[in-house]
Structure 1
Amino acid sequence: MNQFRPKGFIRPLQPELQSIKRAMDTALIFITLYISLHIYGETFSREYLGLFIVCTVLFGIFAEHQEIYHGWRGDPLFDDAVRILLSWIVAFALIASSFFVFDLGFEYSRQVLELWLPLAPLSIIMLHSLRRSTLSYLRMHGLNTRNYAILGGNSLGKRLNTALTEMPWLGYSFVGFFDDRIENKQRRQDEDMVDVIVGDFKELLERAQRGEIDHIYITLPLRAEKRINQLIRELADSTVSVNIVPDFFTFNLMQSKLSSVKGIPVVSVFDTPLNSSLDGAVKRLEDLLLCAIILPIIAIPMLIIAIAIKITSPGPVIFKQMRYGVKGEQIEVWKFRSMSVCENGDSIKQATANDSRVTPLGGFLRRTSLDELPQFLNVLSGTMSVVGPRPHAVAHNEYYRKQIQGYMLRHKMKPGITGLAQISGCRGETETIDKMERRIHHDLEYIRQWSVILDLKIVVLTVFKGFVGQQAY
């Protein structure tokens, strides 16, 4: 019998518990400020109330950016604590910097602020730790636990089970993997299926109808759409909660995000980590601050290098070459001239060992990456970043984009003076496709994992091992 079935929309999950967590953290920020004032005998005035409000709002913004209140993350407690501490420090730093820029007409107690600065985040971290430990203890002892099964004994099912197992505070108890392909040994090997499958779909349906299972996660491949639809229809004859886990890991995801358009789910496959205006502003602010620190340090060495180039070989001091920037747009990149020629055409030969085009001084500059120093001026102009995928000549881009799948995805971010590939030993000549593929792998991994912490780590490591390389000619 055919029946009309409304399709409906997918609504975002907004558990009330997340709002309670935010409210409790806000209360802790207020309590720790009040305690700090009480210890030093200060009055809770309107100025301190304003300070509390601004700090709370900024902390909430950065906490949301760090996904602190997303319970599904399942990160280790230490990582959760680092995100809380980072969010608070950034919020507090913005307020502290405003004290020096603007005349607020009121002086806050330095002792109060010095106590409140560590007390607030430590209190929040302790509360989160206590909540997680309590939930883990209660649910490990059978309070409010739920049984779940996974329909699809494949690699995605294994990943899901591992993720849920690592979050005991959720109170989920695993029943087992179910799959109709249990008898097909060859197929099980080809699809990297789990070793132990407790039954097929028929048995899963019977157990669900008996009320033995609360949640079922379907991890079958996307190509099994018709089979999944049939299974869901049959599971409707039970009270079990059914969840579909799409196997998007078959794609080479990069900064993938889940969003919705009026309830219609949308998953981005390729995206940039700087998609939001906040992330873009943070990255730009990071570049400007690093330039403010580095440029005064390298100003005199740059002047000496410029004079040395002018004295030792004829030609311009600065070599300007067209390269691809963010979104694949062509930009002009500056370098100290290290060759006797200035190639910028459709066909450019990479520098090789004992290359006759490289000047004696140029060889030293290239091996030590000192020829890249003028690119800090590119960073100031906004066409480059301090950290990011290294820009390649236009001719090399046009060649390698046809040879390496996903090559152009490295242009989802601004090119950098240094990057993950450079500190990983991928500098210099790439005379084989394998070497370029290795460099691109690190570039794309950087885009996937981007964070301010990663950028600072790369900058520090560049000082120790990013300036030299055996393949840098």
Structure 2
Amino acid sequence: MVVVRSVVARILDVLVVVTGAIVASDARPASNALAQPDFMLVSFVAMFTLAAFPKFQIYVSWRGRSSIAMISQVCFAWISVQTASLVLLFMIHRTDHVSRLWFAYWTGLSGIWLIGIRAFAYLLLARVRYAGLNLRRVAVIGCGNHARYVINRLANSPTSGFRIVALYTPQQCVASSAVPTFADVDTFATFVRAETVSELWLALPLSEALTIQAVLKTFGDDLINIRLMPDMGSIGLIGGGVTDLIGMPTVNLMASPLSNAAMLKKAVFDRLFSALVLAVLAPLLIVIAVMVKLSSPGPVIFTQFRKGADGRVFRIYKFRTMRQHNEEGGVLRQATRGDVRITRVGAFLRRMSLDELPQFFNVLRGDMSVVGPRPHAIEHDNHYKPLVVGYIHRYRIKPGITGWAQINGFRGETDHIDKMIGRVQHDLFYLRNWSFWLDMRIVAATIFKGFVHPNAY
């Protein structure tokens, strides 16, 4: 049944891609969309979709997983396919034979349909599972508060497709009147097999290695999914997850929060978005450069050293907003409201955050990302690192032009330690909850809320 669903989904995706091209052609008849070589392009994209979508995990089961993550994955996969088709057109020098407007219609229509079909199926399955159908029966093994937390999460997720049917608690330390509770492993195993339970969830701390080993030995010959949900709430993970290192499964307690696939997503988006911004805003950049040059003696671009991913130092670019002055060695004074060092043009650029635009060149160079923790001056890093818990983890990914802290009001002068603590807490939230969709949300909030902020001075 799973294989059949996967095949049907693949066929449906190809039909969506081809239909989107035809409808886009009807919407723009003058483009003659499906004549040569456009029909060849549509055929290539359809075949490439079949080959590429499985690599993006589009056809895996999304039971119990976030619908937003699913939509984000489909969106990124489709954009990647269309980007590859554009690269092909450039390589074979056929861009002049394809209507750009038709291509945009096609990309938009097919993307909306690919997402819409899956969103509809997701909502339909949620209703079906809420009604008690298409469920996977789960038995929880655990003890203490963490086991209670897992049980409550299951009870509060009726549309996830999972239902708890049994609880095994070796020390009888979890009481549950909702489901049968066992303290003897043999009786529990008999119940699990009789009730055709398909999932065993081990809600145990890492110290319970013997219990985990006993469960694996008992159910080693059963066709049942066994998942470990260790109690790590007190650890405060950064980049938690399991990876494969030299052929060994490794649990990450403190590591980069982004997988290789996630970093590839960010890198592709960063380069494309930055190139687009710089191309569109080129006239504005020239005007600003002239204004800065005329405002006071000195260079147009101001540079400072910042720390990037893994603490690597890079040179950040900004439009100069201050008059030239000398700083005391090892000390960097933040700009304050009414700072006499700031020029009139500089005050306007700071208020509108236009002085940050040259950082899109940093993104193209690979020093920064469009979204991430804002980079601080190295002097400020050295000052706050021992004072703010978790500050060091801001270095685990590339710094960004905008970020979760900035759209939530944490920007500008940090004249009090609480402001920096709030900023770092938002940065750590971003690290622990990163998704491509969250990046898109932050970019959209930055654009639609605007760059103006009372703390920008």
Q: TM-score range by the shorter chain?
A: 0.7 to 0.9
Q: Alpha-carbon deviations, 1:377-431, whole Å to 9, x = none? A: 4344443334332221111111222222322222233223332222211112212
Q: CA offset at residue 457 of structure 1?
A: 3.8
SS at match of 2:204: coil
2:251 aligns with: 267
1:306 aligns with: 293
1:443 aligns with: 427
1:244 aligns with: 228
AA aligned opposite 1:149? V
Q: What TM-score does the superposition give when structure 2 sets the normalisation length?
A: 0.75
Q: What TM-score does the superposition give when structure 1 sets the normalisation length?
A: 0.73
Between the aligned partners of 2:446 and 2:65, the Cα distance in structure 1 is 28
2:264 aligns with: 278
Q: Alpha-carbon deviations, 1:354-385, whole Å to 9, x = none? A: 54554565444434434334434434444333
Q: Is the 8 A contact 1:222 1:247 kept in 2?
A: yes
Query: Residue 303 of structure 2: which of 320, 345, 348 is its match?
Result: 320
Query: Residue 313 of structure 2: which of 330, 337, 342 is its match?
Result: 330
2:189 aligns with: 208
Matches of residues 126-145 of structure 1 in structure 2 within 5 Å? 126=117, 129-130=120-121, 133=124, 137=128
Q: Is the 8 A contact 1:255 1:272 kept in 2?
A: yes
Higher mean C-alpha deviation, range 399-408 or range 235-244: 235-244
Query: Residue 294 of structure 1: which of 281, 284, 287 is its match?
Result: 281
SS at match of 1:304: helix
AA aligned opposite 2:289? M
Between the aligned partners of 2:95 and 2:450, the Cα distance in structure 1 is 47
AA aligned opposite 1:298? L
Asked whether 1:411 is paired with 2:390, we answer no
AA aligned opposite 2:291? I
Q: Is the 8 A contact 2:33 2:98 kept in 1?
A: no
2:242 aligns with: 258
AA aligned opposite 2:236? N
Q: Is the 8 A contact 2:21 2:42 kept in 1?
A: no
Between the aligned partners of 1:34 and 1:143, the Cα distance in structure 2 is 32
Structure 2 vs 1, CA of residues 257 and 296 (structure 1 numbering), >3 Å: closer, same or farther? farther
Q: Alpha-carbon deviations, 1:240-261, whole Å to 9, x = none? A: 8654322344433334443335
Between the aligned partners of 2:122 and 2:434, the Cα distance in structure 1 is 29
Higher mean C-alpha deviation, range 128-137 or range 33-42: 33-42
Between the aligned partners of 1:465 and 1:105, the Cα distance in structure 2 is 36
Q: Is the 8 A contact 1:324 1:394 kept in 2?
A: yes
Structure 2 vs 1, CA of residues 339 and 440 (structure 1 numbering), >3 Å: closer, same or farther? farther
Q: Alpha-carbon deviations, 1:83-103, whole Å to 9, x = none? A: 435533542354256546643
1:392 aligns with: 376
CA RMSD of aligned residues (A): 4.6
Q: CA offset at residue 439 of structure 1?
A: 0.9
Q: CA offset at residue 300 of structure 1?
A: 0.7
Q: Is the 8 A contact 1:420 1:443 kept in 2?
A: yes
1:434 aligns with: 418
Matches of residues 131-210 of structure 1 in structure 2 within 5 Å? 133=124, 137=128, 146=137, 148-155=139-146, 158-159=149-150, 162=153, 166=157, 168=159, 170=161, 172-179=162-169, 201-202=182-183, 205-210=186-191
Q: Alpha-carbon deviations, 1:431-454, whole Å to 9, x = none? A: 232211211122233334445554
Between the aligned partners of 1:425 and 1:42, the Cα distance in structure 2 is 47
AA aligned opposite 2:413? E
1:122 aligns with: 113
1:190 aligns with: none
SS at match of 1:154: helix
Higher mean C-alpha deviation, range 37-46 or range 67-76: 37-46
AA aligned opposite 1:327? D
SS at match of 1:223: coil
AA aligned opposite 2:394? R
Q: Is the 8 A contact 2:129 2:158 kept in 1?
A: no
Asked whether 1:55 is paired with 2:46, we answer yes
SS at match of 2:281: helix
Structure 2 vs 1, CA of residues 50 and 323 (structure 1 numbering), >3 Å: closer, same or farther? closer
Q: CA offset at residue 307 of structure 1?
A: 1.1
Q: Bigger radius of gyration, 1 or 2?
A: 1
1:186 aligns with: none
Q: Alpha-carbon deviations, 1:317-341, whole Å to 9, x = none? A: 5433222122212222233142552
Higher mean C-alpha deviation, range 329-338 or range 221-230: 221-230
Identity, in percent, stands at: 29
Matches of residues 10-159 of structure 1 in structure 2 within 5 Å? 17=2, 20-31=4-15, 48=39, 51-58=42-49, 60-61=51-52, 64-65=55-56, 67-72=57-62, 74-75=64-65, 80-81=70-71, 83-96=73-86, 98-99=88-89, 102-104=92-94, 118=109, 122=113, 126=117, 129-130=120-121, 133=124, 137=128, 146=137, 148-155=139-146, 158-159=149-150
Q: Name stretches of at least 5 consecutive residues in structure 1 with no aligned partner.
A: 1-15, 184-192
Q: CA offset at residue 221 of structure 1?
A: 1.3
Asked whether 1:222 is paired with 2:206, we answer yes
Structure 2 vs 1, CA of residues 78 and 197 (structure 1 numbering), >3 Å: closer, same or farther? closer
Q: CA offset at residue 306 of structure 1?
A: 2.6
Q: CA offset at residue 219 of structure 1?
A: 0.6
